[in-house]
Amino acid sequence: MCGIAKGAGMIAPRMRLATMLSFIVTDAAIAQGTLRKALADAVARSFNAITVDGCMSTNDTVVALANGLAANKTIVAGSRDYGIFLKVLREVCVALARMIVRDAEGATKFIAINVRRAVSDNEAEALAFAVANSALFKCAMFGSDPNWGRIAAALGAVGARLDWQKMTIALNGVFVFRRGRPVVFKKRGMLRGRDIDVTIDLAQGRGGKRVWTSDLSYGYVRINAAYN
Amino acid sequence: MCGIAKGAGMIAPRMRLATMLSFIVTDAAIAQGTLRKALADAVARSFNAITVDGCMSTNDTVVALANGLAANKTIVAGSRDYGIFLKVLREVCVALARMIVRDAEGATKFIAINVRRAVSDNEAEALAFAVANSALFKCAMFGSDPNWGRIAAALGAVGARLDWQKMTIALNGVFVFRRGRPVVFKKRGMLRGRDIDVTIDLAQGRGGKRVWTSDLSYGYVRINAAYN
């Protein structure tokens, strides 16, 4: 299996049908409907879990092609082979989606946002994207500023019923907010690297979502203000 | 009547109860409930019609105080005096809200977005804010780039049923997109000034909304990346 993708800006894909482009090819024998089902699953946790600037494009596309040259027994949904195929397809899609974020316009940071123990997966997704698309959060990341108040504000603005007395927020594994209280931590240098992990544990339920995003930098503004 | 306000960043107020702060005082005699009703009306078309960065704060506040020293007959809802009071209150709130946007972090542009003839006021509001909060649109405005494609993309991403064959988009009174077709226009210098008017006529119904916003500049990134 092999995949290629093109991204950079105007990246907040919501693939329901199909300026992000991605093509995945495999020599596996697999029926069209089964491949479509596998692709929908893989896209949900990869391309549809990234945002650069919250601006959805009109023509985001992921195409998967299978020519059957591997001459395997045709993969059917629910089989052991389907499980293996889906695992590989997910890996390819996640790898491409992450590469798009790393290559984002002006990006200096690669940020993973994990929302855990939400009431539902849908609420976890709304909360994760609210943080990922917050201009203030993205600018703080550009400045390597562990400003958890902006994370909390973005979560609060969603309008979900959150229990601040239970919630914890960690940046690169360091608790910065724990069960209703700020934590004293060493700020200097903690976000200096390119990769940043934001983990928000709501302690409310069994829903979860991980999304990937980039920071908002001078470079993003330059590229998009000087388009002509 | 007199009002003061403080704004700058984290500005996308949604006052339902009430880091924007505004205080309005009047010597008119007016009952508390009546003043509250008038304030809700005025806030809807002023403070709740602005966005700097789409980031709602936890503590946006508008307070109106009336001490009755004018010794007028107490204003009651529905009266002629109420109409006059409401008109003045709207003017004060709109003036303050516009000043907040002009004073926004890093702002070099003051942008009015008018959505006209939408199916409903609510849909007009969603469309106007989608454009106002689009990072790509805001960067284009910073670059004085009449990039109507980014306006159309932001409108399209809302998911409303729009009729592109009827829609027109005008920038500072110049049609750039008319009934499904781009218009040839002289780009150079047309958005050079500080004030920009974006008018989107959907030709679908009787709903409308005007919102005000600022551009996304190097200055906004600098202020918010170097917070500490």
- What number is the ipTM of this complex? 0.84
* Inter-residue contact A115 to A202 (CB < 8 Å): yes
Judge: A54–B150 Cβ closer than 8 Å, yes or no.
no
CATH value at residue B204 = 3.10.20.340
Chain A nearest-CA distance from B227, in A, is 8
Residue B165 DSSP symbol: T
Q: Which of A10, A58, A147 sits opposite B136 (nearest CB)?
A: A10
Element (H, E) at A219: helix A218-225
> Which of B55, B57, B59 is most worth mutating to test chain A (most A CB atoms within 10 A of its CB)?
B55
DSSP, residue by residue, B179-218 = TTEE-----TTTT-SSEEEEEEE--SSSEEEEEEEE---H
What per-residue confidence (pLDDT) applies to B134? 95
Q: How far apart are CA B98 and CA B145, in angstroms?
A: 23
What per-residue confidence (pLDDT) applies to B34? 92
Residues A25 and A93 in one domain: yes
> Which of B111, B133, B136, B188 is most worth mutating to test chain A (most A CB atoms within 10 A of its CB)?
B136
Query: Residue A52's Cα: distance from chain center in Å?
Result: 9
Number of separate domains in chain A: 2
DSSP, residue by residue, A85-104 = HHHHHHHHHHHHHHHHHHT-
What per-residue confidence (pLDDT) applies to B15? 57
Residues B73 and B162 in one domain: no
Judge: B55–A153 Cβ closer than 8 Å, yes or no.
yes
What per-residue confidence (pLDDT) applies to A171? 97
What per-residue confidence (pLDDT) applies to B106? 93
pTM: 0.88
Spell out the per-residue pLDDT of chain A, length 228, in tens.
877 777 666 777 765 444 678 889 999 999 999 999 998 898 888 888 888 888 887 778 888 999 999 999 999 999 999 999 999 999 999 999 999 899 899 999 999 999 999 999 999 999 999 999 999 999 999 999 999 999 999 999 999 999 999 999 999 999 999 999 999 988 888 899 999 999 999 999 999 999 999 999 999 999 999 755
* Inter-residue contact A74 to A29 (CB < 8 Å): yes
Judge: A55–B150 Cβ closer than 8 Å, yes or no.
yes
Q: How far is CA B218 from CA A53, B13, B102, B141, B142, in A?
A: 16, 23, 16, 12, 9
Q: Which residues of A touch B228 (CB under 8 A)?
A: 143, 145, 147, 187
CATH value at residue A82 = 3.30.2330.10
The pairing of strands B181-182 and B174-178 is antiparallel
Angle, helix B148-156 to helix B135-142, in steps of 10 degrees? 160
What per-residue confidence (pLDDT) applies to B14? 65
Residues A26 and A95 in one domain: yes
The last residue of one of the domains, among B102, B130, B153, is B102
Tokens of A128: 């994760």
Judge: A135–B53 Cβ closer than 8 Å, yes or no.
yes
* Inter-residue contact A89 to A49 (CB < 8 Å): no
Which 3-state string (H, E, C) describes A31-51?
CHHHHHHHHHHHHHCCHHHEE
Q: Which residues of A touch B221 (CB under 8 A)?
A: 139, 142, 216-218, 220-221
- If chain B, 228 residues long, is cut into consecutive pieces of 10 residues, what is the mean pLDDT of each piece? 72 60 89 91 86 81 89 92 93 91 93 97 95 95 95 93 96 95 88 96 96 95 81
Residues B92 and B116 in one domain: no
- Give CA angle at A105 (A172, B197), nearest 5°: 115
- Give CA angle at B201 (B197, B202), nearest 5°: 145
- Report, as residue numbers or ranges, the catalytic residues of B: 19
Which structural domain, as residue segments, surrounds residue A13? 2-102
Chain A nearest-CA distance from B141, in A, is 7
Residues B115 and B216 in one domain: yes
Residues B66 and B119 in one domain: no
Residues B219 and B122 in one domain: yes
Query: Residue A159's Cα: distance from chain center in Å?
Result: 21
Residues A139 and A186 in one domain: yes
What per-residue confidence (pLDDT) applies to A95? 92
Closest chain A residue by Cα to residue B216: A221
Judge: A225–B187 Cβ closer than 8 Å, yes or no.
no
Residues B62 and B128 in one domain: no
- Give CA angle at B56 (B96, B171), nearest 5°: 60
Judge: B153–A54 Cβ closer than 8 Å, yes or no.
no
Chain B nearest-CA distance from A216, in A, is 7
Interval B41-95: pLDDT, tens: 988 888 888 888 888 877 788 889 999 999 999 999 999 999 999 999 999 999 9
- Report, as residue numbers or ranges, the catalytic residues of A: 19
Chain A nearest-CA distance from B98, in A, is 21
What per-residue confidence (pLDDT) applies to B18? 42
Chain length of chain B: 228
The last residue of one of the domains, among B69, B102, B135, is B102
Residues B36 and B128 in one domain: no
Q: How far apart are CA A140 and CA A158, in angstroms?
A: 20
Tokens of A199: 């983990």
The last residue of one of the domains, among B63, B84, B102, is B102
Element (H, E) at A213: strand A207-214
